[in-house]
Structure 1
Amino acid sequence: MNNTISDFILARRSVTAKDLCAPGPSEEQLDIILRSAHRVPDHGKIGPWRFVLFQDDARDRFGKKLARRFVKKNENATEAQIEFERHRFLRAPLVIAVVSSPIDHPKVPEWEQVLSAGAACQNILLASHALGFGAQWLTEWYAFDKYVAKKLKLTSAEKIAGFIYIGSVDKKPDERTRPDLNQRITVYR
């Protein structure tokens, strides 16, 4: 295979949030990343997603809220665990929350709208990779927490599709073991 786009996609790897560092994307690069997310398949052109950006001091402020919530949910949390939550969003210079925002639509099922939000996450990963950044798509406990949803002003219909951490990388990520592709293919006859 000698296809630049295929080679590019096959070379994409997630870089763990803890391995990301500054600098993050510039404003111009961030614009490219978000416009790339905006170009996903979107039946009905309804844009069933939105983005919440965490940069600069906002990462620290939100981390303090996460730590307080973590303590409420985990009365026996250790100081190390609380400190980790406090610094969670500081693992990367940019964190993008992708919010799945389905609407009631007569021709576009909710499932398609949710998939479109997932495609937006993937395009953010691909655009970040194309710009030379590392990225990781995470849905950890705070993606499913009602208090966090309230702090992010999510409506009752909205859900976090993922938090995408983006930053520079010092070293190429290792290849990881993946499920056997051949066991996931069925040829309909």
Structure 2
Amino acid sequence: MTAVIDFLLQRKSEPRLQAPGPDADTLDKAFQCAANTPDHALLRPWRYLVVEGAGLEALGELFASTCGEGSSEKEREKLRLAPLRAPMIIIGIASHTPHPKVPESEQAFSAAVGMGHLSLALQAAGFGVMWRTGGIAYHPDVMAGLGLAENEQIVGFLYTGTAASEKPPVPRPSVSEFVDRWPR
């Protein structure tokens, strides 16, 4: 196997992250990798927001503000503290452009692949990452609070930092469990 394949087979999500996060040069190189994603018609249907420092607390307040009237203080606090689980969060955004041959779904897939490239590049540089979504990624108040336009959607929150502890390998399915031949 090649070094790239060996690296991909060792990819993992790291839920426990601490400082430091990536420096500016590492982050710039990782974004260059993200921009190298497949992109039908060269629409560049993605953009990213980098959140760190006091921005993480502001993001937590934005998350907490989505709690409805019936929510408990415990629920609000959980959302408020969520962004503090990493020294940096990169928010991946799909920016859709009307195009006769490239539907919005394909543009969102391109943005998601870009997040995958970004994730792998940061891991190759020695950082841990955890891609998170959940209901908060689709909440209209979060999208508005982050300044998303009507033609945009969040594809994920990439929590980024230094792994705080070694996570055991996750069992993976055998290829025969998810690959078939067609026609049979």
TM-score over 0.5 (shorter chain): yes
Matching residue of 2:7: 8
Distance (Å, rounded) in 1 between the aligned partners of 2:163 and 2:177: 33
Distance (Å, rounded) in 2 between the aligned partners of 1:121 and 1:100: 10
Of 129, 139, 143, which residue of structure 1 is paired with 2:123?
Answer: 129
Residue 60 of structure 2 aligns with an amino acid whose one-letter code is G
Q: Say which SS state the counterpart of residue 65 (structure 2) adopts.
A: helix
CA deviation after TM superposition for structure 1 residue 41, in Å: 0.6
Matching residue of 1:53: 50
Distance (Å, rounded) in 1 between the aligned partners of 2:111 and 2:69: 31
Q: Say which SS state the counterpart of residue 40 (structure 2) adopts.
A: coil
Q: Does 1:167 align with 2:161?
A: yes
Distance (Å, rounded) in 2 between the aligned partners of 1:84 and 1:97: 19
Residue 40 of structure 1 aligns with an amino acid whose one-letter code is T
Matching residue of 2:75: 81
Of 142, 154, 161, which residue of structure 1 is paired with 2:148?
Answer: 154
Q: Does 1:68 align with 2:61?
A: no
Large movers: runs of 4+ above 4 Å: none
Matching residue of 2:137: 143
Where do 5+ consecutive residues of structure 1 fail to align?
none
Distance (Å, rounded) in 2 between the aligned partners of 1:140 and 1:107: 30
State percent identity of aligned pairs.
33
Matching residue of 2:21: 24
CA deviation after TM superposition for structure 1 residue 187, in Å: 1.2
Where do 5+ consecutive residues of structure 2 fail to align?
none
Question: TM-score scaled to structure 2, two decimals?
Answer: 0.93
Question: TM-score scaled to structure 1, two decimals?
Answer: 0.91
Of 20, 29, 34, which residue of structure 2 is paired with 1:37?
Answer: 34
